[in-house]
Amino acid sequence: MGKIKLEKIDEYRWLIPREGNMRVPGLIFADEILLKQVQVEETGMQIKNAAHLPGILKYSMAMPDVHWGYGLPIGGVVGVDVEEGVISPGGVGYDINCGVRMVKTNLIASEVINHLKSLVNNLFSSIPCGVGRGGKLKISKSDERKVLIEGSSWAVKEGFGWQDDINATEDFGKMDGANPDNLSKRALERGRDQLGTLGSGNHFLEIQKVVEIYDEKKASHLGLFREQVCIMIHSGSRGLGYQVCDDYLSLMGSVMGKYKIELPDRQLACAPIKSPEGQRYLSAMRGAANYAWANRQIIMHWVREVFEKFFNRSAENLGMNLLYDNTHNIAKIEKHNIDGKMKTICIHRKGATRSYPENHYLVPDIYKKIGLPVIIPGDMGRASYVMVGGKKAVEHSFGSTCHGAGRVLSRRQAVKEMKGRAIGRELEDRGIFVRSIGRNTLKEEASEAYKDIDHVVEVVHKAGLSEKVAKLVPLGVIKG
């Protein structure tokens, strides 16, 4: 990692010692193989830079899927003291509450495989996707305000889903404290026609089958079994969330001098949590998070409708229940034990997922006995995983784990390296049918652009950050 020093703590933890004006050390969760991929992207400097944030506690952390991002690396976790710490939009990311939800069915793969192309085509025509694309749902200004305040609840009240969906969504699909007045006119304009849209890039809708069960008891509690067909939805807050981040990065950059904050990287622009600017960002971020939950809720509802028409059975009869919805680009106020004392802290998780064991206060009642479900998507050509909160996560990572595989190639690099290849045909030859809109999307999202998800998951499992329950592989994929 260039001039960055590393000290091995154990097989899966590496310390970047504190030096200069760093307030805490850096901490990377990886084995020696993944560590080499961290070094290639020089994300170590971003980990060090984040360690300068006022109020930061314990470590500036990086999960095994870490890669370069804006300000804080993707896969970064930072916890700060609420009273003395700061909030950084670059520590949350542009796609606020980008997240993933998994829908179960009682179908088995053999009931779907011969109809896969037709089913994927039906989903592709029903779920809007692509860069900047608006959806088939147009909402009024007053309804948009309700979405920003109520999140998933608004969608369910409007007929997009079931009340049980709320119970299986992180934070029950709503963060309190959202204030639409703290979103710019441009952010609101961008959000008005994008509810129920998938977006582009690494966002996807995937039909999967369960191929392996690692813990029969926990899988049974989650309602998972071998050869089961499931649907995974990965999307976020679309243009609205992007604009919120952009607006507040500009604002934070203009007030750092006022609060005498000096950082080695202006992309980490921030303000004290307790400041007017910090509170305005938090309320706007929460509104964007609520928008993202409503977005995924509506997409899921339309997925159910497609399955109902295709199989001529009700979604209830098909067992299309929501397993869980995880978020992985967000700042949360939580209580954690810091040096033997319970403290209220603000945790930035950028490309990282909550991971709490059984009986933790942040685990919903339906999963108290097994721990928080953790859904880890892979790339479109490899596996995804369902895990549960690990027993060491609270102590070691502020209750956090990885969020996916993590890139090893930028999108531009991937397009260059995949030149001349027909990625869609290659996937279809392997039994995976893919539809996409973007000309270069499949090249950008090729498996070779990502770390090996099996390896990443094995590291978080052995490090105790989250525990494997089931492995799923793609059958059909929709990309923007």
Catalytic residue among 221, 403, 455, 461: 403
Contacts of 418 (CB under 8 A, 6+ apart): 442, 443, 446, 448
pLDDT 10s digits, 340-385 = 999 999 999 999 999 999 999 999 999 999 999 999 999 999 999 9
Q: Is 2 a member of any domain?
A: no
d(CA 45, CA 183): 32
Question: Per-residue confidence at 36, pLDDT binned at 50, 70, 90?
Answer: confident
Q: Is 335 a member of any domain?
A: yes
Q: Where is mean pLDDT largest: 40-49, 254-263, 438-447?
A: 254-263
Question: Per-residue confidence at 38, pLDDT binned at 50, 70, 90?
Answer: confident
Contact by Cβ (8 Å): 376, 448 = no
**Residue 307 gets which letter from DSSP?**
H
pLDDT at residue 132, as a whole number? 64
**pLDDT higher than threshold 80 for residue 134:** no
What does residue 106 show for φ and ψ, rounded to 5 degrees? -100, 15
Residue 403: active-site member: yes
**pLDDT higher than threshold 90 for residue 39:** no
Which of 263, 265, 266 lies closest to 253, judged by CA? 266
Which of 479, 480, 425, 477 lies closest to 119, judged by CA? 477
Q: What string of DSSP letters covers 18-52?
A: --TT-SS-EEEE--HHHHHHHHHHTTHHHHHHHTT
- The enclosing domain of 240 has a CATH number of 3.90.1860.10
Q: What angle do CA 324, 327, 328 make, to 5 degrees?
A: 140
pLDDT at residue 133, as a whole number? 64
Q: Is 1 a member of any domain?
A: no
How much is the mean pLDDT over the chain? 95
Q: Is 276 a member of any domain?
A: yes
Q: Is 238 a member of any domain?
A: yes
Q: What's the whole-model pTM score?
A: 0.96
**pLDDT higher than threshold 80 for residue 2:** no
Q: What number is the average pLDDT over the span 50-75?
A: 96
3-state secondary structure of 247: helix
Q: Is 51 a member of any domain?
A: yes
Report how many domains make up the chain.
1
d(CA 29, CA 44): 12
- By residue range, what is the domain housing residue 265? 7-479
Q: Is 188 a member of any domain?
A: yes
Contact by Cβ (8 Å): 85, 346 = yes
d(CA 114, CA 433): 12
d(CA 310, CA 29): 44
d(CA 409, CA 451): 9
d(CA 192, CA 194): 6
Strand spans (E) along 119-258? 204-213, 228-235
Q: Is 46 a member of any domain?
A: yes
Neighbouring C-beta atoms of residue 309, cutoff 10 Å:
11
Strand spans (E) along 340-432? 341-350, 352-354, 373-376, 384-389, 400-402
Which of 78, 91, 85, 93 lies closest to 275, judged by CA? 85
Which of 441, 376, 381 lies closest to 133, judged by CA? 441
Sign (positive or negative) of CA dihedral 453, 459, 462, 464: negative
pLDDT 10s digits, 138-176 = 899 999 999 999 999 999 999 999 999 999 999 999 999
pLDDT at residue 55, as a whole number? 98
